[in-house]
Structure 1
C-alpha cells in the first residue's frame, strides 16, 4: 500500500509534504520504507509520547534510521499549538535549513491536518506567504480544509513576524 503523502507544489525552497501518521504495528517497517521510496529524506513527527504508544509507533525513530530517513520529533498536543513560540521558531528554522539543502521533508501528526499543516504553513510563511495563503496552498494539496482549529490559524498569524525575522 502506498503511503498518503501530500506534496505542496508551491514550496519555493524544496520539496515539502504533509501526511497522516504512518501505519503502525506489523506495517511500520514497510510503511517507512515506502515513505523513503517516495522520495522523503526527513520525516517530522508531532506526535506526543502518549500518542506514539497509543498508535504503536514507539519504534518509528529506529525504523526510520534503518530505512534511511532522518527522524525529527517535535511533540505538540493534538488539536493544539506549540507550548513555546521560541522553541517552535528554532525548530522551524532547522527544518527550513533541511529544505534549503535540497532534502525532501514530510511532516506528520495524527491525521496530517492540524499540527502538520501548522508547521508546513510556518515554513511557507518564512518564504513570504501570508498565513492565509500558506494554509490555502496546503489545503489545495491535502484536499481538505486545514488546519484543525481556529487557534492554530490565529497562532500562526501571531507568530508570523517571529518566523520571518528569525534565522
Structure 2
C-alpha cells in the first residue's frame, strides 16, 4: 500500500485511521486489497467530485464492495467550507462513531490525509466521548490545524449544551 494509514489509538475494539489519497490514478485493486487485509471495514473519501474524477475513482465503490469494504463518498470542499456543511459532517461522523463503537475499522481519506479527513476523524472521536484537544492530539500528533481546532471546540460546546437540555 503506497499511502500509509495513520491509525488512531485507544478506541477499544474499533479502530479509526486517516489516510492520504492514493498516488497515481485512483485506488488500484491492490491498494484496496491491502486496506481490506489490514482490517479496514469502511473507507470514507472526502474528495470533491472534481478530485474524484481527476484521480479515477469511478469504480472504487464496486471494487471495494467486492473486497468487503464499505466505500462512503463524502465530497467536501477543502478548508473552511466544512463549517457550512456542519450538519453533513455530524451525520457522517455519527455513523462512523457507530461503526467504531461496533468494533469496525474506519479510515477517512482526503487529498493529503489531513484537513477534511482529520476533521471527520476528530468529530468522530468527540462523538465517542473524547475531548476535542485529545482528539486533535490523537489524530494530528500535535500539529496545528486552526480550522479543525476551532470547529471542533465549537462543536463540542454545542454538544455539551445540547446534552444538558
Normalising by structure 1, report the TM-score: 0.84
Distance 1:26 1:80, change over 3 A: closer
Which stretches in structure 2 are left out of the alignment for 5+ residues? none
Which stretches in structure 1 are left out of the alignment for 5+ residues? none
Matched, 1:22 2:22: yes
Among 145, 148, 154, the residue aligned to 1:152: 148
1: distance between equivalents of 2:94 and 2:26?
34
1: distance between equivalents of 2:109 and 2:117?
5
Matched, 1:129 2:130: yes
Q: How far 1:96 sits from its partner (Å)?
A: 1.0
> Aligned with 2:80: secondary structure?
coil
Q: Is the 8 A contact 2:8 2:17 kept in 1?
A: yes
CA deviations on 1:114-140 (whole Å, 9 max, x unpaired) are: 111111111111233222221111123
Higher mean alpha-carbon deviation, 68-77 vs 125-134, is at: 125-134
Aligned length: 161
Normalising by structure 2, report the TM-score: 0.85
User: In the alignment, what sits opposite 1:103?
Assistant: 104
User: In the alignment, what sits opposite 2:61?
Assistant: 61
CA RMSD of aligned residues (A): 2.2
CA deviations on 1:18-53 (whole Å, 9 max, x unpaired) are: 111134538611111111111100001101110101
Distance 1:132 1:24, change over 3 A: same
Distance 1:117 1:13, change over 3 A: farther
Distance 1:117 1:66, change over 3 A: same
Q: How far 1:13 sits from its partner (Å)?
A: 6.0
1: distance between equivalents of 2:110 and 2:4?
13
Q: How far 1:6 sits from its partner (Å)?
A: 1.1
Distance 1:160 1:13, change over 3 A: farther
